[in-house]
Structure 1
């Protein structure tokens, strides 16, 4: 349990309301506060600046915020369990900058994949992409209905799927995935992909098999050396987290092909996909998002958590 809140970024759009519901449930699962944050529209920010500059006491102190009012009413009438505490904040500035500032205190920041102003054809809105690329906390992007329509299970029933490069993924990414699985009472499915020269009998798009630790293959006639080595690397890397979370069941999969494509496929039946933001060798101040996280954010059929490097030694 942590005192850091779950933050829901809302703008009144249907996409953000789906994200709000996801954030509400996350705050309840983790036993923490829900902070609902809304960036005021440009006209409200201009009004506030004008009133402050003119010192006009006859003008109302605050600009009406219909989004905030609507969110309060919806949350109060939803019927779902509410977290121990719920706060509302109206923010000024651009959405990415406001979320970067408020995200410094968050366990996670949850937002929809498209906002009110996005084009219908967009898979991922510009604000969602910018926040996922730069926020100082894990960012969960919840897809809009058209993308989630292909999901095979109810969101709460699926596993937490962790995209893992055993030698490069920071510990913060693994810690987030295990903590989320523990809060849900579900398994962590660890997926790593490897590249091998194509052969006529290899079917890259075939469903992959998940393996419990006791079922790891030994190198032999029927074992692919790259798969055996990757599963062994996974096992070694996962050992400390198995110790920290003994009640979390772990499934391992080492598969040929593109890692982003494999994670997008897994997202059809997952509660959450967890990926690192970027390659750890990039500088900590880099705002660039990695190619795998970028592709999964654009195409996943369920929620995606993009986790930055949060600690100096990660």
Structure 2
């Protein structure tokens, strides 16, 4: 990502306001503008429609928008603001309104909280967040609410440390299927790592036959650098070795474009989703592709890895759609 626009979707909930802070920092990192989008409540939309249809001049021109006022106060108190900041009140359903503004502006990313005001407390991912991540024509970053210590103030969870919240520490973790993940996903991950001055950790899975010898999921996986790839005479399993080599082939063009970005490679047996969820505890961002273009009905489905990571991640997740019809 560089220049352009970052959209923060807000509804006044703590989840969305932490997403706003993440979006503010992202816009600063990339030299981008910040658009704060608020889909008006049903009552606000009904009021606007009533005033428009009745032409009642005695009614105020604008419906009171406490979310806009809160956003202005938070941005005014922020240590730094992007050069361009604007606020837009949207009408319609939340998923459709955000899908439309994403299509119209083609932002670097549309950032939203994992749950809004209408979400159930027991759910890690709200229906609106899932719907937007599934259908938006742009990258969607879902920011889960930061874990706060008892008695922590309203500003807790928005520091620069690793883990949950809006921090900039940690690596950018990329979930890569070497044969299916679109180049757009890799490009986003490398651009984000370059802007943060951090490494990209690439996680790919390889199939293994059922066996009691398969390592349990809580066993730490080995992370290597490209220079540490083993040869044919090494102890690494052939499937793992082949996966690491396939990773290198896919990563080569991006290493050429971003020589300043260190890369760590990891190949794990079985599925990648659980490993990505675990990595999200300390990652600055986990990046996954939304789906394989040839295996889904347009933008109406999400791959199992992206779905699992979104549902269970401990930190921000970027879901990147393929912007071209054909995969690489």
TM-score (norm. length: structure 2): 0.91
Corresponding residue of 1:223: 236
Map 1:90-129 → 2, pairs under 5 A: 90-104=89-103, 105=105, 106-129=107-130
Structure 1 residue 193 and structure 2 residue 236: aligned? no
What is the deviation of 1:312? 4.1
The one-character-per-residue Cα deviations of 1:16-44 (angstroms, maximum 9, x if unpaired) are 11111100000000001010000011011
What is the deviation of 1:15? 0.6
Could you tell me how far apart the structure 1 residues matched to 2:189 and 2:176 are? 11
Map 1:252-267 → 2, pairs under 5 A: 252-267=265-280
Could you tell me how far apart the structure 2 residues matched to 1:61 and 1:2 are? 38
2:187 is matched with which residue: 170, 175, 190?
175
Q: Is the 8 A contact 2:293 2:326 kept in 1?
A: no
What is the deviation of 1:215? 0.5
The one-character-per-residue Cα deviations of 1:184-240 (angstroms, maximum 9, x if unpaired) are 000000000112124333323210111111100112362200001000100001000
RMSD over equivalenced CA pairs, Å: 1.8
Could you tell me how far apart the structure 2 residues matched to 1:36 and 1:124 are? 21
User: What secondary structure, in the 3-state scheme, does the structure 2 residue paired with 1:270 have?
Assistant: coil
Could you tell me how far apart the structure 1 residues matched to 2:196 and 2:318 are? 15
User: What secondary structure, in the 3-state scheme, does the structure 2 residue paired with 1:268 have?
Assistant: coil
What is the deviation of 1:282? 3.4
What is the deviation of 1:166? 0.6
Q: Is the 8 A contact 1:147 1:302 kept in 2?
A: no
Corresponding residue of 1:41: 41
What is the deviation of 1:289? 1.0
Could you tell me how far apart the structure 1 residues matched to 2:89 and 2:132 are? 17
Q: Is the 8 A contact 1:147 1:301 kept in 2?
A: no
Could you tell me how far apart the structure 2 residues matched to 1:111 and 1:167 are? 30
Q: Is the 8 A contact 1:133 1:289 kept in 2?
A: yes
Q: Is the 8 A contact 1:2 1:30 kept in 2?
A: yes
* Structure 1 unaligned blocks of 5 or more: none
Map 1:1-314 → 2, pairs under 5 A: 2-78=2-78, 80-104=79-103, 105=105, 106-146=107-147, 153=162, 155-205=167-217, 206-220=219-233, 222-282=235-295, 285-314=298-327
Structure 1 range deviating more: 281-290 or 116-125: 281-290
Could you tell me how far apart the structure 2 residues matched to 1:291 and 1:235 are? 24
What is the deviation of 1:123? 1.1
User: What secondary structure, in the 3-state scheme, does the structure 1 residue paired with 2:264 have?
Assistant: strand
User: What secondary structure, in the 3-state scheme, does the structure 2 residue paired with 1:20 have?
Assistant: helix
User: What secondary structure, in the 3-state scheme, does the structure 2 residue paired with 1:53 have?
Assistant: helix
The one-character-per-residue Cα deviations of 1:121-174 (angstroms, maximum 9, x if unpaired) are 01100000000001111000001234999xx93532200000000110000000
Q: Is the 8 A contact 2:205 2:270 kept in 1?
A: yes
Could you tell me how far apart the structure 1 residues matched to 2:120 and 2:148 are? 15
What is the deviation of 1:313? 4.8
TM-score (norm. length: structure 1): 0.95
Q: Is the 8 A contact 1:277 1:308 kept in 2?
A: yes
Could you tell me how far apart the structure 2 residues matched to 1:47 and 1:157 are? 44
Q: Is the 8 A contact 2:2 2:191 kept in 1?
A: no
What is the deviation of 1:117? 1.3
What is the deviation of 1:311? 3.0
Equivalenced residues, count: 311
User: What secondary structure, in the 3-state scheme, does the structure 2 residue paired with 1:183 have?
Assistant: helix
